[in-house]
Amino acid sequence: MIRTVDSPSHVSAPVLAAYSYCETVTGQQARNFAYGIRLLPTPKRRAMSALYAFSRRVDDIGDGDLADQVKLKRLEETRALLARVREGEVEDDDTDPVAVALAHAARAFPIPLGGLDELIDGVQMDVRGETYETWDDLKAYCRCVAGAIGRLSLGVFGTEPGARGAERASEYADTLGLALQLTNILRDVREDAAGGRTYLPADDLAKFGCSAGFDGPTPPEGSDFAGLVHFEVRRARALFAEGYRLLPMLDRRSGACVAAMAGIYRRLLDRIERDPEAVLRGRVSLPGREKAYVAVRGLSGLDTRHVTRHVSPRSVRRRA
């Protein structure tokens, strides 16, 4: 069982200001994520915003216009800042609000900060232009940039006392992160190609005649692009199905948060499946009203009850 640590009732003004900054960053830069964490109680919502703000800083370094060597240097500087957080060397009056908020969150909750080191490792892979021959190769990258975020989030959420199979909660959180990341990769295939990046495994691209890449609003001539997308969608759905086993292990509001975020991405996956070439024409997204519906569905516990009905104690033991 993973327990959360009760946050102190009093939070200093500098820490509150730092959290406010992180929540602003989250609201402006991560609409899907922000919908989910709105469902959390204040201490958990603040901690999640601190994790997002730090992660966003890492991502922005990797996605920026600096020379690669400068990016790698900045990433190592960010790793050094993370080490200061880990060693308890960041005071409430530090000038970096993200570090202040993250340090407070790490004192309040058992957050496995090593996951942020993994995120930095993954972004370094991006900067170096690594490509992925097989799904196993891509999965290792996804575990760094998304699976780690799932495990970090679980440190904030905790698991319910006596939850069946809770010893596998970290594994399920990791798998759910992979599902979200593969959905992101499908949604952003054209955007990534424009930036010189290819994430889908080379083996899969070759299998469906897509090795030429995606440099326009139509698939490569003679390719089975729809077949490629449907193949990856099935893989993502299997990851979602496995990762959703986490939901019954969480308290109601944490489960609602996870169900809302995952639900938004599952609906994106549905849209991509219905019209695969849409990802080559522009960014696929959900309207606000649909995101709100997913959030309400998550808060109602429908997804958690569905998972609970379909996961028997016997099936949990068989997979252990």
Nearest one of 278, 245, 96 to 175, comparing CA atoms: 245
Per-residue model confidence (pLDDT) at position 4: 43
**Are residues 188 and 267 both part of a single domain?**
yes
**Are residues 162 and 298 both part of a single domain?**
yes
**Are residues 95 and 204 both part of a single domain?**
no
The one-letter amino acid at 174:
D
Nearest one of 267, 261, 111 to 187, comparing CA atoms: 267
**Are residues 172 and 266 both part of a single domain?**
yes
| 123-148 burial: b if 16+ Cβ within 10 Å, else e | bbbbbeeeebeebeebbebbbbbbbb
Residue 2 domain flag: no
Residue 6 domain flag: no
**Are residues 217 and 278 both part of a single domain?**
yes
**Are residues 162 and 297 both part of a single domain?**
yes
Q: How many domains does the chain have?
A: 2
Nearest one of 193, 249, 201 to 219, comparing CA atoms: 193
Q: CA 310 → CA 95, 300, 314, distances in Å?
A: 49, 18, 11
What is the separation of C-alpha 110 from the centre of its chain, rounded to a whole number of angstroms? 18
Residue 120 domain flag: no
Domain boundary pick from 78, 109, 140: 109
Residue 267 domain flag: yes
Give the range of the structural domain holding residue 40, as residue numbers without chain letter.
13-109
Domain boundary pick from 79, 109, 139: 109
Residue 237 domain flag: yes
Nearest one of 95, 70, 71, 68 to 81, comparing CA atoms: 95
Q: What is the pLDDT along the chain (320 residues), one digit of tens a residue?
A: 444 444 445 799 999 999 999 999 998 887 667 767 888 999 999 999 999 999 999 999 999 999 999 999 999 999 999 999 999 999 999 999 999 999 999 999 999 999 999 999 999 999 999 999 999 999 999 999 999 999 999 999 999 999 999 999 999 999 999 999 999 999 999 999 988 899 999 999 999 999 999 988 999 999 999 999 999 999 999 999 999 999 999 999 999 899 988 988 999 999 999 999 999 998 888 887 777 777 666 666 555 555 555 544 434 333 33
Q: Which long-range contacts (CB under 8 A, 24 or more apart) does 129-133 make?
A: 129/196, 129/197, 131/198, 131/202, 132/199, 132/200, 132/201, 132/202, 133/201, 133/202, 133/203
Residue 117 domain flag: no
pTM, rounded to two decimals = 0.87
For residue 211, count CB atoms less than 10 angstroms from its CB and return exposed for 0-12, middle for 13-18, buried for 19 or more. middle
Per-residue model confidence (pLDDT) at position 198: 92
Per-residue model confidence (pLDDT) at position 37: 87
**Are residues 103 and 58 both part of a single domain?**
yes
Tokens 């996961």 belong to which residue? 311
Contacts of 169 (CB under 8 A, 6+ apart): 2, 154, 159, 163, 246, 249
For residue 222, count CB atoms less than 10 angstroms from its CB and return exposed for 0-12, middle for 13-18, buried for 19 or more. exposed
**Are residues 76 and 39 both part of a single domain?**
yes
**Are residues 153 and 241 both part of a single domain?**
yes
**Are residues 267 and 181 both part of a single domain?**
yes
Per-residue model confidence (pLDDT) at position 147: 96
**Are residues 82 and 218 both part of a single domain?**
no
Per-residue model confidence (pLDDT) at position 313: 41
Domain boundary pick from 109, 142, 169: 109
The one-letter amino acid at 204:
D
| 159-172 burial: b if 16+ Cβ within 10 Å, else e | bbeebebbebbbbb
CATH code, domain carrying 191: 1.10.600.10
Distance CA(304)–CA(191), nearest Å, equals: 34
Nearest one of 249, 264, 269, 319 to 297, comparing CA atoms: 264
Instruction: Assess contact for 264 and 304: CB atoms under 8 A.
Output: no
Residue 320 domain flag: no
**Are residues 191 and 234 both part of a single domain?**
yes
Residue 260 domain flag: yes
The one-letter amino acid at 235:
R
Provide the token pair at 79: 């790793």
